[in-house]
């Protein structure tokens, strides 16, 4: 029981501090210009990694094959986002194509 | 009065835009709850971790390590490694947080996730007039409540939904993130960042504790900066050629 409490407290500490410290210091923090420039790439870089690691792999193996429905859904979403700006439409089209590919292949 | 209306509208918009991401996170919460139950942990420990720690991947890893008899210190250190990426998100949100009062920063930091970071940075770029706190908390609190709720439900009924992970509901997250990435691609340097981050993600998939994610993100960011710098150097030359 005491071990569980230590575990939870420890986890709270190490998950909250990385989230909170930069934000807590934000009023006093003057970010160097190079860092500000670097930060504009954070969303593209991180989200691309999450997308690739979720959709290019099946059961831990690289699967760049037409039988992988994630590739179809992803391709449809990317095409849709290029053509128009409506995010909801992009998501619906991507999921529909995924569902179709999952059924057919 | 107008301000209040804007705050409410931005919070509602945020909740609506978070629906696909909440939908994608739900099966993970159920599977997490079910895993806790199958490892013989108490309902309250499972709920407490979801509400106090609120970090998907870390929670899975913690339960797995705990069940394997790993010392608590090592579990905590592993959880720390898995969550370092949040520091990257927090730093990139620093400019937005400058105007936020210090006590509101605590619940906002507490509920920072991949999903909320993604939709908030995208929204603030597209529509900088958006009420930052309202939009942020709309998404973050929705994700938070949903995560806690389905962790609890998963504890009791999760074993009956063992096929849930095979449905591939992560597709909702993939397509939502893809839409955000596409909307951010404006210069050659952005495409270079995407390409290198993507290739690095394939190479580093097996690296432990999300170190592959951090490595790939940094590789992409560095590439973007280098290409941006090169292009900045090229432009005066081009101008010179044009005038000559």
Per-residue pLDDT band at B240 (split at 50, 70, 90)? very low
What's the token pair of residue B226? 């280098």
* CB contact (8 A) between residue B170 and residue A56: no
User: Does the beta-carbon distance from B181 to A44 stay under 8 Å?
Assistant: yes
Give the chain B residue nearest A77 (alpha carbons): B175
Q: Where are the domains of chain B?
A: 2-171, 185-244
- How far is CA B170 from each of CA A12, B53, B103, rounded to the nearest angstrom? 26, 22, 34
Give how far Cα B206 sits from Cα of A60, A61, B103, B123, B202, Å.
8, 10, 39, 32, 9
pLDDT score, position A79: 98
Query: How many Å lie between the alpha carbon of B116 and the closest alpha carbon of chain A?
Result: 11
Buried-exposed string B21-37: b where 16+ CB fall within 10 A, e elsewhere: bbbbbbbbbbbbbbbbb
Summarised one tens digit per residue, pLDDT across range B146-188 is: 999 999 999 998 777 767 777 888 898 899 999 999 999 999 9
CB within 8 Å: B179 and A52 = no
> CA-based angle B24:B171:B63, to the nearest 5?
50
CA dist., res. A31 & res. B197, Å (int): 24
Contact A81 B182 (CB under 8 A): yes
How far CA A89 is from CA of A83, A86, B126, in Å, comes to: 11, 6, 17
Domain ranges in chain A are 1-30, 32-104
Give the number of other CB atoms < 10 A from CB of residue B102.
Answer: 11
Q: Are A98 and B175 a contacting pair at CB < 8 A?
A: yes
Cβ distance of B121 and A27 shorter than 8 Å: no
- Asked if B210 reaches chain A (Cβ–Cβ under 8 Å), the answer is no
**What is the interface pTM, i.e. ipTM, of the complex?**
0.92
- Condensed to tens digits (0 to 9), the pLDDT of residues A47-86 reads 999 999 999 998 889 999 999 999 999 999 999 999 998 8
Share of chain B above pLDDT 90, in %: 65
> What pLDDT is recorded for position B238?
47
Phi, then psi, of B243 in degrees rounded to 5: -70, -35
Beta-ladder partners of A62? A57
Residues in A closer than 8 angstroms to B83, CB to CB, are: 14-15, 18-19
- The pLDDT value recorded for residue B31 is 85
Locus of tokens 């199958």: B38
pLDDT tens figures, B58-101: 898 898 888 888 899 989 988 998 888 999 999 999 999 998 99
Question: Could you please report the per-residue DSSP string of B142-182?
Answer: HHHHHHHHHHHHHHHHGGGGGGGGGG-TTHHHHHHHHHHHH
The mean pLDDT of B26-47, rounded to a whole number, is: 90
Computed over every residue of chain A, the mean pLDDT equals 92
Q: Cα distance from B244 to chain A (closest Cα, Å)?
A: 32
Average pLDDT over residues B127-139: 95
């Amino acid at each position: 029981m005491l071990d569980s409490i230590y575990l939870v407290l420890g986890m709270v500490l190490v998950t909250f501090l990385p989230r909170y410290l930069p934000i807590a210091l934000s009023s006093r923090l003057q970010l160097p210009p190079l860092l500000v420039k670097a930060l504009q790439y954070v969303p593209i870089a991180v989200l691309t990694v999450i997308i690739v690691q979720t959709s290019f792999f099946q059961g831990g193996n690289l699967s760049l094959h037409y039988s992988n429905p994630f590739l179809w859904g992803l391709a449809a979403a990317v095409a849709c986002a290029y053509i128009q700006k409506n995010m909801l439409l992009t998501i619906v089209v991507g999921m529909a194509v995924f569902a179709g590919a999952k059924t057919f292949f | 009065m107008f301000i209040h209306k804007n705050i409410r509208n931005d919070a509602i918009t945020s909740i609506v835009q978070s629906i696909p991401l909440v939908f994608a996170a739900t099966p993970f919460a159920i599977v997490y709850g079910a895993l806790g139950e199958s490892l013989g942990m108490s309902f309250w420990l499972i709920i407490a971790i979801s509400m106090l720690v609120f970090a998907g991947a870390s929670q899975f890893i913690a339960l797995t390590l705990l069940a394997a008899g790993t010392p608590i210190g090592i579990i905590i250190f592993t959880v720390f490694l898995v969550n370092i990426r949040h520091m990257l998100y927090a730093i990139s949100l620093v400019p937005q947080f400058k105007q936020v009062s210090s006590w509101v920063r605590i619940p906002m930091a507490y509920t920072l996730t991949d999903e909320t970071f993604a939709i908030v940075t995208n929204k603030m770029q597209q529509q900088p007039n958006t009420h930052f706190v309202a939009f942020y908390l709309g998404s973050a609190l929705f994700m938070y409540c949903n995560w806690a709720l389905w962790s609890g439900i998963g504890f009791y009924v999760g074993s009956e939904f063992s096929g849930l992970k095979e449905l591939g509901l992560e597709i909702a997250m993939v397509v939502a993130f893809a839409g955000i990435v596409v909307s951010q691609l404006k210069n050659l340097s952005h495409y270079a960042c995407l390409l290198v981050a993507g290739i690095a993600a394939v190479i580093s998939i097996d690296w432990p504790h999300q170190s592959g994610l951090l490595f790939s993100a940094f590789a992409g960011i560095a590439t973007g900066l280098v290409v941006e710098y090169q292009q900045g150097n090229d432009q005066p030359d081009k101008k010179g050629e044009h005038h000559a």
